[in-house]
Structure 1
Amino acid sequence: MLVGITFLLIFQLFGEVIAYYLEGLVPGPVIGMALIFGALIASRRTLIGRLMQPTVPTSHTLLANFGVLFVPAGVGIIQHLDLLAERGLALLVTIAISTVATLIVTVWCYLAIKRLIGGASHG
């Protein structure tokens, strides 16, 4: 399973690198998924194809257990529907404000780092 996860992460990394050079036209994980699909299809009879075979059961295992990640959140919401009804507007406002604040801080950090890197490369 470790070999399969390693291959999945390597292809996601390749996808992220390609997405960087495409300037965000297509998300990196989508590109990585297309690359690994193409590699698995094209290399069935080659050495790379045999090396990549652990990705198939690893992917099946990950997909089979993916729903477990969403169960706790769903159960928590159902158990506390009365709180959601009572404080739903406050929660919505809090989530909206925190999302906007996160975006603002992210952009500020990006611009600050870009200024630092841009200043270092020109100096």
Structure 2
Amino acid sequence: MIGSLAVILGCQLLGEVTARGLGLPVPGPVIGMAAMVAVLWLRDRFSPPVLAGVEPAGRFLLAHLSLLFVPAGVGVVGNLDVLAAEWLALAAALVLSTVVTLVVSVVTFRVVARAIGQP
């Protein structure tokens, strides 16, 4: 479990260092997620023993994912004045991002279904 957490946090650290060190406009967690995808791809290709144990920590974090929303909720409550002042822009961003996510998901599903031969 400690080794798998180290791999996950190492990818997060790599993303943060890369984003800040190179001054990229991409958030560190996004780069860290891409690094995790590369780690999982390498695990499936070469199966090094260090990378084989990422699953236990991932399952543990997913099982307790709801706890990670507590700090975000506290942040929202702490900034209710900003929420009240910018509610229209926030609502528009929420609706637009939801629509874009749904459209991208449908297009991705159709492309993958067509690629594997499903109608």
TM range (shorter): 0.5 to 0.7
Query: In structure 2, what is the Cα distance between the partners aligned to 1:43 and 1:8?
Result: 13
Structure-1 residue corresponding to 2:65: 66
| Cα root mean square deviation, aligned | 3.4
1:65–1:95 distance in 2 versus 1, CA, 3 Å: same
Query: In structure 2, what is the Cα distance between the partners aligned to 1:19 and 1:69?
Result: 23
1:93–1:47 distance in 2 versus 1, CA, 3 Å: closer
User: 8 Å contact 2:3–2:54 — kept in the other structure?
Assistant: yes
Q: Give unmatched runs, 5+ long, in structure 2.
A: 85-119
Structure-2 residue corresponding to 1:92: 80
Give the match's secondary structure for 1:54.
helix
1:93–1:39 distance in 2 versus 1, CA, 3 Å: closer
Query: In structure 2, what is the Cα distance between the partners aligned to 1:8 and 1:40?
Result: 11
Query: In structure 1, what is the Cα distance between the partners aligned to 2:19 and 2:27?
Result: 6
Describe how 1:24-63 pairs up with structure 2 within 5 A. 24-46=24-46, 48=48, 50-63=49-62
Q: Give unmatched runs, 5+ long, in structure 1.
A: 75-87, 97-123
1:95–1:36 distance in 2 versus 1, CA, 3 Å: same
Which is greater in Rg? 1
Shift of 1:42: 2.7
Structure-2 residue corresponding to 1:115: none
Aligned residues: 81
TM-score by length of 2: 0.52
Identity among equivalent positions (%) equals 39
Q: Deviations over 1:27-84 (max 9, x none)?
A: 1111111111112113324253x3112112211210121113447x98xxxxxxxxxx
